[in-house]
Amino acid sequence: MAVLKRKGSKYWYVVFIKGGKQLWHSTKTEDKLEAQQREIELKSVLRKQIEGKRLTDFIEKASGNTIPNKGYPLSAVWATFIKLPNQSDKKTRTLKSKKNIWDAFLKWLGKVHSEIVNIGDINRDIAVEYSEELRSKSAQTYNNHRHNLRGIFKALMYKADLTQNPFDVVPTQSAKHTSFRPFTLKEVKKIISFADEPWKSAVTISFYTGLRFKDVCYLKWNQINQKNGLIKLTPAKTERLDKKVTIPLSPQLKNALSKIEKKSIYVLPFLANNYGKKIIQSSFSDILSSCKIKANKNGAVSFHSLRHTFVTMLEETGATRQVSQKLVGHGSPIMTELYSHDNKSSKEAVDKLPAISGKEKKA
């Protein structure tokens, strides 16, 4: 074990070997003496963990019984986790997503392993078992759960006196890229005609802005300037890069927003409060099914198809690739190419987008 400085960091790190791997633990201090004191504390914690593990293994082997861990109770894990120095500065949306994942794991534990009450009693077999439960979901969702649960256990290794991170053995899934097709204008009108609120407004917002579903759900009134006719926000996907987008309000979207009652800081509070829940995930699929809108050789369909539709419609109005790229926040023309299914200044392009309040009959 040693105290070293990492290239590019102002803090001292305690470097040690565990499980054959070199680990760097930030002391969060620029003072070497304080870092050395932290090294002594870590040595003591690791020694206790190793000695405790050896004693536990010996007793379990001799008796044939598993000794329950007396670590942190599951009910206290989240409160402990969010108080950790490297979590307290995380954005509210990020923590909410982690909390939903942790709650889903606890719910599963309560059904399948109700006897477990401490975090230390969760072993690798249980982690693998839960990962099998997640395999019915998309690779992206599976990997997101695996990544966040592994992170929570890693953050609590010392605080909860854990001897292992059970999710270290859970492999990631190879994510197969799903190609989405844009909706036709007729399909969008059909969805608008069939859908009830808040879906009608959500579809309208995405059609005229190209915003992803998560950004539509969490869109706030203070991000919309009706006077200047602009929407300014940092999309969730580029939040860590602090990459903002500015989207002009089309006349059709202005009109639609003026009809929404301001009951919350969010434009669509129901979607904001229920984002990520199964009821939300399945609702739009049900709408598409009722409208008989399906995938075809050009790609799958989902709410994300509206983003592709936005880019496609923009280029049909004569907007340049640079304008499309700026509006949807793509980092490169290559990414915009993936969204542009038919090639053909920002406000002019948005103002030319077609009306979608058609009077299609319900399916």
Tell me the DSSP string of 279-309.
Answer: HHHHHHHHHHHHTT---BTTBB-STTHHHHH
The whole-number pLDDT of residue 15 equals 79
Residues 310, 225: one domain? yes
Residues 194, 335: one domain? yes
* Contact between 321 and 333 (Cβ < 8 Å): yes
The whole-number pLDDT of residue 183 equals 95
The whole-number pLDDT of residue 177 equals 67
3-state helix, strand, coil in the chain (%, to 5): 55, 10, 35
Q: Do the domain assignments include residue 302?
A: yes
Residues 56, 111: one domain? no
The whole-number pLDDT of residue 176 equals 67
Residues 189, 48: one domain? no
* Contact between 363 and 290 (Cβ < 8 Å): yes
Residues 192, 156: one domain? no
Query: Of the candidates 44, 67, 90, which is a domain's last residue?
Result: 67
CA distance 320 to 184: 20
* Contact between 74 and 117 (Cβ < 8 Å): yes
Query: Of the candidates 159, 176, 193, which is a domain's last residue?
Result: 176
Q: Do the domain assignments include residue 362?
A: no
* Number of other CB atoms surrounding residue 114 within 10 Å: 8
CATH code, domain carrying 120: 1.10.150.130
What range does the domain containing 112 cover?
Answer: 69-176
Residues 45, 5: one domain? yes
Residues 243, 130: one domain? no
Query: Of the candidates 113, 142, 176, which is a domain's last residue?
Result: 176
The whole-number pLDDT of residue 103 equals 94
Q: Do the domain assignments include residue 357?
A: no
CATH code, domain carrying 200: 1.10.443.10
- Low pLDDT (below 70) residues in the chain: 1, 16, 18-21, 42-71, 87-91, 175-177, 240-241, 329-345, 358-363
Residues 252, 280: one domain? yes
Residues 342, 195: one domain? yes
Question: Any residues with CB less than 8 A from the CB of 219 and at least 6 apart, and which?
Answer: 205, 211, 231, 233, 266, 267, 268
The whole-number pLDDT of residue 193 equals 93
* Contact between 191 and 288 (Cβ < 8 Å): yes
Q: Provide the CB-side half-sphere exposure for 166 (13 A, CA).
A: 16
Residues 231, 248: one domain? yes
What is the residue type of 8? G
Residues 40, 120: one domain? no
Q: Do the domain assignments include residue 363?
A: no
* Number of other CB atoms surrounding residue 54 within 10 Å: 11
Distance (Å) of CA 349 to CA 257, 319, 326, 341, 354: 19, 6, 12, 17, 11
Look at the chain and report how many structural domains it folds into.
3
Q: Do the domain assignments include residue 96?
A: yes
Residues 43, 117: one domain? no
Q: Do the domain assignments include residue 74?
A: yes
Q: Do the domain assignments include residue 360?
A: no
